[in-house]
Amino acid sequence: MISNFIASISAVRQLALQQAGSANAGAPPAPITAFDRGIEKLGDWASEYAPHVLAAIVTFVIGMWVAKLLARSGRTLLVRAHVEDTLAKFLTNLGYFALLALVIIAALGKLGVETTSFVAIIGAAGLAVGFALQGSLGNLAAGVMIMLFRPFKSGDVIVAAGHEGIVEEIQVFATVLTTPDNKRIIVPNNAIMAGAITNLTGNETRRIEIVLGIAGSNDIAEVKASLARVLAANERVLRVPAPEVALASIENGAPKVVARAWCKTADTWTVQCELNEAVKVWMESERIAMPVPLQLVRQVV
């Protein structure tokens, strides 16, 4: 296209010169000017390089369009797969810029630029950045694993990396927690994935346990029956699984009775407090004897 345009200019120039020569027959030929030489060189350059420039432009435009199309398609697939929105955005942008880099390298190759050195430079730079950001890349990998395997989600109460709190936000490099006393803690994802994760609200129901030490003089059967009635009297205690009361152990002659009840996870704290109070009132009303601490004294002669 460019070479044809320049050739047209040159043809028009030659035609004008021919017409001028016809009008001035017998006159000496007009000298070749710098403009003529410039047009000739420009035509030669266009003939040699214009196809490469056009190919590079076409490659870049089509490559950009394909990269955007693939990025949108990838984002749609990730959303349909219920991938965390933050991870979906990050992976989509990462893929787009990687494709864009390939498109630029391909366009430079169409111009005749040696792209092997560019690839080597990019690889070396990536290796250097990788060594410099080992900790950050570890947090990034851990963040991707959290978003893919979803051991917890926003709104869950977890215990991880020595911290307990509500998950406010799962970021690519860190997870934001809010503690029960309303402190904001930013925990690196690598620290979370390096240890055990306890999701306190991961299931719909939770079990509450009360261990009660009583004196050996109490009637164990009557104590178990009374405790079962205390658990059944609470409306928030689930009937399935049914509450249970059992003799857990005997220490120093004093029995320990355990009472277990199930409730909805959202009611755990409320039911725990209500049962503690109910058991205390029951012990006072029934005059349940408490175990007397025993201490063995030996006389050394």
- Stated pTM of the model: 0.59
Cis peptide bond N-terminal to 241, omega within 30: yes
Sign of CA dihedral 180, 185, 186, 188: negative
Find all residues with CB under 8 Å of 38, minimum gap 6, and list them. Answer: none
Could you tell me the end-to-end alpha-carbon distance of the chain, in angstroms, rounded to an integer?
118
Q: What is the pLDDT of residue 240?
A: 92
Distances (CA, A) of 26 to 15, 31, 33, 108, 244: 18, 15, 20, 53, 126
The answer to whether residues 286 and 229 touch, using CB atoms and an 8 Å cutoff, is no
Predicted local confidence at residue 164, as pLDDT: 94
Q: What is the pLDDT along the chain (301 residues), one digit of tens a residue?
A: 544 544 554 554 555 455 545 444 444 554 555 555 555 565 556 666 667 777 778 888 888 888 888 888 887 877 776 666 766 777 787 788 788 888 887 877 777 766 666 666 666 666 665 555 556 778 888 888 888 888 998 899 999 999 999 999 888 889 999 999 999 999 999 999 999 999 999 999 999 999 988 888 888 899 999 999 999 999 999 999 999 999 988 887 789 999 999 999 999 999 999 999 999 999 888 888 877 666 656 666 5
Task: Give the per-residue pLDDT at 25.
Answer: 47
Q: List C-alpha distances in Å: 232 to 67, 133, 136, 145, 284.
A: 63, 57, 52, 43, 19
Q: Identity (one letter) of the amino acid at 44? A: D
Using DSSP bridges, classify how beta strands 174-178 and 205-213 pair: parallel, antiparallel or unpaired: unpaired
Residue 289, pLDDT score:
80
With beta carbons less than 8 A apart as the criterion, state whether 263 and 206 touch.
Answer: yes
Complete domains list, the chain, with CATH: 2-18+33-129 (1.10.287.1260), 150-199 (2.30.30.60), 205-286 (3.30.70.100)
Cβ-defined contacts of 1-8 (< 8 Å, 24+): 1/50, 1/54, 2/46, 2/50, 2/53, 2/54, 3/43, 3/46, 3/47, 3/50, 5/46, 6/39, 6/42, 6/43, 6/46, 7/43
Helix, strand, coil shares of the chain, percent, nearest 5, are: 55, 20, 25
DSSP 188: E
Query: Hey, what amino acid is at 148?
Result: L
Q: How many other CB atoms sit within 10 Å of the CB of residue 50?
A: 17
Per DSSP, the three-state class of 152 is coil
Residue 162: exposure state from Cβ atoms within 10 A (0-12, 13-18, ≥19):
exposed
